[in-house]
Structures are given as structure tokens and as C-alpha cells.
Amino acid sequence: MTKEQIQEAIITQIQTIAPEIERDDIRPDAHLQRSLEIDSFDFLKILTALKEILGVEVPEADYAKVDTLNKMRDYFAERMAS
Amino acid sequence: MSQTITYREAVREAIRKAMHDDERVFLMGEDVGHYGGCFAVSMGLLDEFGPERILDTPLSESGFTGAGIGAAMNGMRPIVEIMTVNFSLLALDQIMNNAASMLHMSGGQFNVPLVIRMATGGGKQLGAQHSHSLEGWFAHIPGIKILTPATVQDAYDMVLLALADPDPVLVFENPLLYNAKGELDTATAPLPIGRGKTMREGRDVTILSYGISVFKALEAAETLSREGIDAEVIDLRSLRPLDDAAIMESVRKTHRILIVDEGWKSGSISAEIMARINEQAFFELDAPMGRVCSAEVPFPYARHLEQSAMPQPEKIVASVHQMMEES
Amino acid sequence: MSTFVMPSLGADMESAVLMEWKVKEGDHVRKGDIIAEVETSKGVIEIEVFEEGTIEKLLVAEETECAVGAPLALIRSEGESASEPAAAPPLPEIPTEPAEPVPPETLPQTPPSGSPSAERIKASPVARKKAKELGIDLFSLAAAGEEVHLSEVEAAAKPPQPPSMGGMRQAIARAMSRSNTEIPHYYLSTSINMTPALRWLSDLNAARSIDQRILPAALLIRAVVKALQEVPELNGFWRDDALHPSGEIHPGIAIALRKEGLITPALLNAGEMDLNRTMEALGDLISRTRAGKLRSSELTQQTVTVTNLGDLGVQSVYGVIYPPQVALVGLGKIIDAPWAEGDALTVRKVMQVTLAGDHRATDGRTGGQFLQELERLLQHPEELL
């Protein structure tokens, strides 16, 4: 799966959980939860859904490594390649 | 031509004009001549027109009303003044069995162009034999017309309208209005007999009234308007015939009706109006119709009792409140 | 026979659109069953029935706007016999001579024939006429015992207007004004060291798959509920000059709608939930709140309110109690703060908890006991499992 496809999957899940968020609202380097007003429940749901799709589970200790779109994309890309 | 005069002067002016314009017109009644009328309406007319046309009569309502009927049948245009409506009961036989019935009984040969003026209503502390409002009772009788001037304009117009009518017309004047001042326009054609007049436009409720009660209704409407209730006030002007069209039009507009009448409720003109609305505009009503009438007692003499027995603006306001709460 | 009416789902609700019936005539229903879905300003709400019986008749069609209190269905309780179709009115007895048959008087708008209760609607004549002209069912406008007047028919004829935020704002304004006027609030606040609880939670989650994880918000709700079980005087209502503690604990959880507004639906029967169940139910409540899929009981049965403004960075929440409730628990942001432990000064995760209490119902002592118990539990999070 390419990085673009991973990014696409993340955006799709964000929009599934929070349908009112537009694609343009998601800035690649902005803090996802703060910039999109996603609370901890929503964030957990997004990660849970991504685990189903991408097969990678993010432990709580790694939450700081997935707090922007770009970081989350790279995180999944790295884990999926290995 | 418009001028401000009193109700009393308006009636007198109308009689003067009629007597100047038509030599068949004459006035008779108790004390109308030398005394000038017990309410001073005919003051000065004896000097102007002489004892042949301004006739003081004996205290015999039946006698002089009958004389008036005879004169009318023979081509004259008499105005009979009866001191108060309570005394008119002595002439009821003449009014009902002769004046009202003659055209019918003669197969249309004899009409009775008679005008009877009388005082009506309470509030003057004159006791139960001088204070009643029986005009609604007279409105029961086919063959006569019942007029109830409230304004200075109608006080003038209705004398002339009554004289112009080929049949007997009873005009009910409330003595408490004699000193009331108002505009008189003698240039415009009068509103015909049988037509009501909208005194105040409104959306929320219609107050139907006549005579002195019209002014109580208007005062109540002012109070109500400060509370945001927009009341329409209609002066019925004529109790027989009633202006059904104007009444029903207002029912269709406001859907709520309050009738204010100084007569009693039972078997009354207010009951008749309610019955007609029921017959002709039932499906326009949004609340039960209401009435503010006099207490069902012979009129009391004591001032506070008399006042509390009569319709008052506060009672009208309270009735409208109740009606608006119900709907 | 009882009449099921459109429930009020909040002070700001005047009417709702009945979207879909979940039962049909003849169905048996039990307390708590979903009878229909209605659409309100708070989204689509599933409304529940509170008695047992058989649906005798559905009185309104789907997609009908109904005022609060409007009859929606007739429910026959057990043991009541099914009503027979109304028999034709008997002709008046005619003495001896045959006379013209008297036709039964017909009203312009009698309820549909066969309608069992067929109670006469007290509608004014002009309301009946207008309803007939506009094809509006008077039955849908008639709340029990109330008269129907022209203004109601005209209002029903207007296209249903979604209650505006202005309306919601006004309803909140009324409730809050009433609260601040009537309720003598007292406020108690305490700082709680959250490090033990968060560390415990983090260890718990590390051993769990992602879909089994527990969020701090759920742990806090669980702790509040458990503390309320120890101090039940704060969970209930002030009615008729007396405190009525509630047997069940239904905390109203303040949930922000992303678009606009805030709703505090009840986490029903939270007292009976363990930590896992609390997490699951809270997640479900939040997503249904945001999807506009709440149940009527969730909008009406709150026994206490929990407000967490920590997401906004707020450290202390001094809330206004929602009447007739008697308490509001405010949870602030968890921050890194200096903390004295023994003789040492360290940095700990610290949260400010505030209790707003109704002083008519309880005293500061009761509130203090609650905060004390809450703190104790958060120092022993394993008790919250």
C-alpha cells in the first residue's frame, strides 16, 4: 500500500467518524484532535477502524507519534512495511 | 358643513329643520311646549312654531300616542315624545295593536308615518320606574323600526330618517347623552336605517353595542389595546332591522363576539343577536359568545347598586379577558 | 384504555415530527419498548412506552408534525377487552304513529368511525371549518382535555419549522435563570492527583487490544457514579420543597455537538455498569448523540449532571445546576502540576473537581463527603473495574 493510499484511508476514517469535516479542513501538519475538535472517543474510534483496515495497532504510548495526518501516515507506512 | 354641538341641540336642530321643511311635521308630548321638554330638548320651539305645532298633552300616553297614530294616518308627520320608556308601556296597546299592525290589517291601505321619541336607560338614580332599557323588547314587534342614536350625528340624522320613513319608527335617546358634544355634519347623506357603524377597527374580538354602551365599549377597547388586544367596536344603530351583514362580516374577521347591552339578558336583543350569529356564522366562531348586560333586577335606586347593576367598561374588559383566555 | 401522547423531550420542545412507527396495531408492548421515532431539534429520538399492553390504534400517520401532548396511540392494558366497533346510535323511540325517521345528527368532523375511544374533540366551530379546509386532523391537535382553537389549526397548517437555536438558547436561558434564582448553590472544589489512576489505566490498556481500551473520561464517570452510590443525597431531585433521592443513577453527560450546541443525555443505569460497560455505553451514547439517535428516556431522566470542560483547557468548572437536579460535578483539565508528597515536591497529573450543590437539598458536609470519596477511588482505581 502506498503512502498516498494510507493517507486516503486515514482521511476516509476521519470523515466517517466526523462527517462534517471537509477534506480541506485536514491540514497535514496540524494537531488532528485540536484542529478538528476530535475528542478522545472519536480518536480511539479512528484508530480502531484503521487497525481493521491496515492491520496496525497504535499503543497509547505512541499517541504522540500519530497526532498529525503526516505523522500518522508515516507511522502506519513504517509499521506496514516491516 | 360641520359644527360641534351637543346631542340635545342635535335632536332639537333636526326637529327644527323638519318643521321648517315640512309643514305636516308637529311635536307633541308631556311638557314639550311651555316647559321646553323634561330634558329641555324642545326648549324654544314653542316660541318659534307656536302652540298649533308644539303641543303640550295631558298625562295620558295612550291618548296622545293614539292621537299621533290618527294624525299620521291622515297625512300628518307627527313626532310624539314619551318621557321615558317605562311610561311608554301605557301606550303599548297603541304602539303594537295600532301603529305596528295598521298597514298589515288594512291590506296595505293605511301606513302610519309616526315618529315616537323616548328616553331610555339608567344611571340617573331615578329608580326602577324610570331607568329601564326596553328598546330590545320593542324590537320584538314586526311593523315598527327601532333606532338607538349614540352619537351627535345620529341624534340629528335619526330624527330625519325616522320622519322620512313611511312606517312607525321609535327613536330611543339616552338622557345621559344629551350633554355630550360631538361633530355634526349636515352636508353628507346619513347612513340609512338598518346599517350598523364600525366605530373602531380591530382584529381580535368584536364588541357589538348600541346607544350609550357604545362609549363604554370604546373605553374598554382602549384599555384592551394597551394590553395588546385589538377590539373592534360596532354601533348597531338600529335594533330592528338589525344589520346582519355587518355583524356576520365582523364575526368572520375576529371570530369572537361580545355583546354589550343595558337591557337584561333573558329574552333580549342580545340573545337575538347571538341566535342570529349561531344561525348565520356558527362556523366562524372561535370562542363561546359573551354578553355584558344589566343585572336581572328592577333597577336599584342607590347609586352604587345602580352602577354595579349596569354594564361598565371594567366588566367589558374582564369579559374579553375571559374570552381570550378560553381561546 | 390509555392514550400515548407525544412526550416532552426538553423544555425547548414544542412539537416533533413522528417519522416512523416501530409498532403496528395489535402489537404487544412492554415498558421500555421503542414505539416510534420522532425528529426533534436534537435529532431523531426513539420514544419509549411506559406501560404494558396492546396497541389498539395508531392515531397519527408517519411524517406528521405533532405538538407535545398530542395523542399518538391508544394502548389497551391487559384484561381490557377489545372495543367493539361503535354500534349505530339507536333511533329515538317512536310512540305509536309511524313518524319520519330522524336521521342521527352528524357533526362536521366526527372522529373516524371505529375509532375506539372516539372522544369528542372540543374544537371551536371555526377551528373545525379551517381544519377541514386544510385537511388537518383535529385529533392530532387535541391534547387531552384541551380545546382546539383557530390559532392552533393555523399554526399546524404552517410548514413545520425546525426549532431554532434561538429557541434552544431561550430554553437554556429560562432553565438557568430559574436555577440561579431558585437554587442556593454552594461550591466545593478539590485537586485530585490523577497520576495513580492514569498510570493504572495505561497499564490496563497496554494489555488490551485497541477496541477494548478504556479512556480516562469513562474512568472518571465510573468514579463519579461510584462516589454517588456512597453519597446518594446528591443524586436526585428537589421537588415540592423536599429532596427526593433517585434509586437509579442516570448521570447527564454534557456532550458537545460538533456543529453547534450541547446536549446532556443520560447515561442510563450507570450504577449497574462496571468499567468496561461504562466505556462501551459512553462511546455508544456519544456517537448516538452526534448522529441524532437518542432515546426519549435519555433526554428526560437525568438525575445529576457531569460536565467536563477539560478538552477546552478549562481547569475549574463552576456549573449551574439543571433543575430539578440537586448537583453538578465539574471536571477540569488534567495538567502537570507541582504536588507535595510527604516532604518532597514532585510533578503530578492533577485535576480540579468541583461540586455545585443545591443548599436546600444538602449541606457542604455532604458535598465534602462526595469529593473525598471520589478522590479516594481515584487513588485506588482497581476498585473501579
Buried b / exposed e over B238-271, threshold 16 CB at 10 Å, is bbbebbbebbbbbbeebbbbbbbbbbbbeebbbb
Minimal CA–CA distance to C355: which of C339, C345, C337, C368?
C368
Mean pLDDT across C339-345: 89
pLDDT value at residue C78: 74
The more confident residue out of B81 and C176 is B81
pLDDT value at residue B299: 95
Mean pLDDT across B209-213: 98
The residue ranges of chain A whose pLDDT is under 50 are none
ipTM of the complex: 0.86
| DSSP percent split of chain C into helix, strand, coil, nearest 5 | 30, 25, 40
pLDDT value at residue C192: 95
pLDDT value at residue C168: 62
pLDDT value at residue C288: 86
B296 annotated active-site: no
Compute the distance between CA of residue B186 and CA of residue C353 in angstroms, rounded to an integer: 86
C310 touches chain A (CB under 8 A): no
Question: Which of A61-65, B277-281, C308-312, C333-337 is least confident?
Answer: C308-312
Is C149 in Cβ contact with B283 (below 8 Å)? Answer: no
Confidence check: pLDDT of B31 > 80: yes
The answer to whether C277 touches C245, Cβ cutoff 8 Å, is no
Q: How confident is the model at residue C159 (pLDDT cuts 50, 70, 90)?
A: low
Mean pLDDT across B222-230: 95
- Count the Cβ atoms, other than its own, within 10 Å of residue B227: 11
pLDDT value at residue C44: 80
The more confident residue out of C256 and B184 is B184
Mean pLDDT across B80-104: 97
- Residue C95 has, within 13 A of its CA and on its CB side, a CA count of 1
Domains of chain A: 3-81 (1.10.1200.10)
The answer to whether C84 touches C117, Cβ cutoff 8 Å, is no
Is B327 in Cβ contact with C126 (below 8 Å)? Answer: no
Residues of chain C with C-beta less than 8 angstroms from the C-beta of B327: 124, 147, 149-151
C133 touches chain B (CB under 8 A): no
Compute the distance between CA of residue B86 and CA of residue B137 in angstroms, rounded to an integer: 11
B140 annotated active-site: no
pLDDT value at residue C87: 42
C213 touches chain A (CB under 8 A): yes
Mean pLDDT across C180-209: 92
Q: How confident is the model at residue B112 (pLDDT cuts 50, 70, 90)?
A: very high
CA distance A57 to chain C (A): 7
Reduced to 3 states, what is the DSSP secondary structure of residue C74? strand
Question: Which of B140-154, B158-172, B183-197, C283-297 is least confident?
Answer: C283-297
In one-letter notation, the amino acid at residue C338 is P
Domain B2-185: state its class. alpha beta
pLDDT value at residue C85: 43
CATH code 3.40.50.920 for B197-326: yes
Q: How confident is the model at residue B51 (pLDDT cuts 50, 70, 90)?
A: very high
- Count the Cβ atoms, other than its own, within 10 Å of residue C180: 12
Is C2-78+118-163's fold the same as C184-384's? no
pLDDT value at residue C57: 86
Is B285 in Cβ contact with C126 (below 8 Å)? Answer: yes
Residues of chain C with C-beta less than 8 angstroms from the C-beta of A58: 210
CA distance B228 to chain C (A): 16
CA distance A3 to chain C (A): 23
Confidence check: pLDDT of C122 > 60: yes
Is C150 in Cβ contact with B286 (below 8 Å)? Answer: yes
> Which residue of the set B61, B135, B232, B262 is catalytic?
B61
Grid coordinates given for C211? 477496541
List Cα–Cα distances, B211 to B196, B231, C3, in angstroms.
Answer: 12, 18, 52
Is B326 in Cβ contact with C129 (below 8 Å)? Answer: no
Residues of chain B with C-beta less than 8 angstroms from the C-beta of C127: 286
Compute the distance between CA of residue B252 and CA of residue B69 in angstroms, rounded to an integer: 42
* Radius of gyration, CA atoms only, chain A: 11
Looking at chain B, the whole-number percentage of residues with pLDDT higher than 70 is: 99
Confidence check: pLDDT of B62 > 90: yes
Grid coordinates given for C23? 409498532
Give residue C231's region: left, alpha or beta (phi > 0; psi -120 to 50): beta
pLDDT in tens, B123-150: 999 999 999 999 999 999 999 999 999 9
Is C126 in Cβ contact with B283 (below 8 Å)? Answer: yes
CATH hierarchy code of domain C184-384: 3.30.559.10
pLDDT in tens, B289-298: 999 999 999 9
pTM of the model: 0.52
Looking at chain C, the whole-number percentage of residues with pLDDT higher than 70 is: 83
Mean pLDDT across C159-170: 56
A60 touches chain C (CB under 8 A): yes
List Cα–Cα distances, C57 to B133, C86, C103, C334, in angstroms.
Answer: 57, 14, 29, 54
Mean pLDDT across C93-100: 43
Is B287 in Cβ contact with C124 (below 8 Å)? Answer: yes
Mean pLDDT across B2-31: 97
pLDDT value at residue C148: 85
Beta bridge partners, C16, equal: C66
Q: Residues of chain B whose C-beta is under 8 A from some C-beta in C?
A: 255, 282-287, 326-327
Q: How confident is the model at residue C89 (pLDDT cuts 50, 70, 90)?
A: very low
The answer to whether B39 touches B92, Cβ cutoff 8 Å, is no
Domain boundaries along the sequence of chain B? 2-185, 197-326
Domain boundaries along the sequence of chain C? 2-78+118-163, 184-384
C109 touches chain B (CB under 8 A): no
Confidence check: pLDDT of C164 > 80: no
The answer to whether C276 touches C264, Cβ cutoff 8 Å, is no
Confidence check: pLDDT of C86 > 60: no
Residues of chain B with C-beta less than 8 angstroms from the C-beta of C125: 282-286
Minimal CA–CA distance to A54: which of C210, C279, C205?
C210
Confidence check: pLDDT of C208 > 60: yes
Compute the distance between CA of residue A63 and CA of residue C214 in angstroms, rounded to an integer: 14
CATH code 2.40.50.100 for C2-78+118-163: yes
> Which residue of the set B130, B132, B135, B255 is catalytic?
B130
C291 touches chain A (CB under 8 A): no
Is C108 in Cβ contact with B286 (below 8 Å)? Answer: no
Q: How confident is the model at residue C144 (pLDDT cuts 50, 70, 90)?
A: low
Q: Which residue of C has its CA nearest to A18?
A: C258
Is B2-185's fold the same as B197-326's? yes
Mean pLDDT across C101-127: 54
pLDDT value at residue B40: 95
Compute the distance between CA of residue C309 and CA of residue B308 in angstroms, rounded to an integer: 65
Question: Which of B139-153, B231-245, C127-141, C161-175 is least confident?
Answer: C161-175
Mean pLDDT across C242-253: 92
Compute the distance between CA of residue C59 and CA of residue A79 in angstroms, rounded to an integer: 59
| DSSP percent split of chain B into helix, strand, coil, nearest 5 | 40, 20, 40
Task: Tell me whether chains C and B touch (3+ CB pairs under 8 A).
Answer: yes
pLDDT value at residue C59: 86
With contact defined as 3+ CB pairs under 8 Å, the chains touching C are A, B
What is the average pLDDT value for chain B, to the nearest integer?
96
pLDDT value at residue C94: 43
Q: Which residue of A has its CA nearest to C310?
A: A39
The more confident residue out of C134 and C169 is C134
Q: Which of C209, C210, C215 sits opposite A41 (nearest CB)?
A: C215
The more confident residue out of C164 and C19 is C19
Is B285 in Cβ contact with C125 (below 8 Å)? Answer: yes
The answer to whether A69 touches A32, Cβ cutoff 8 Å, is yes
pLDDT in tens, C7-57: 887 766 778 888 889 898 888 888 888 889 888 777 788 888 888 888 888
CA distance C210 to chain A (A): 6
Q: How confident is the model at residue B110 (pLDDT cuts 50, 70, 90)?
A: very high
Chain A interface, best mutation among C200, C204, C210, C285, by max A CB count within 10 A: C210
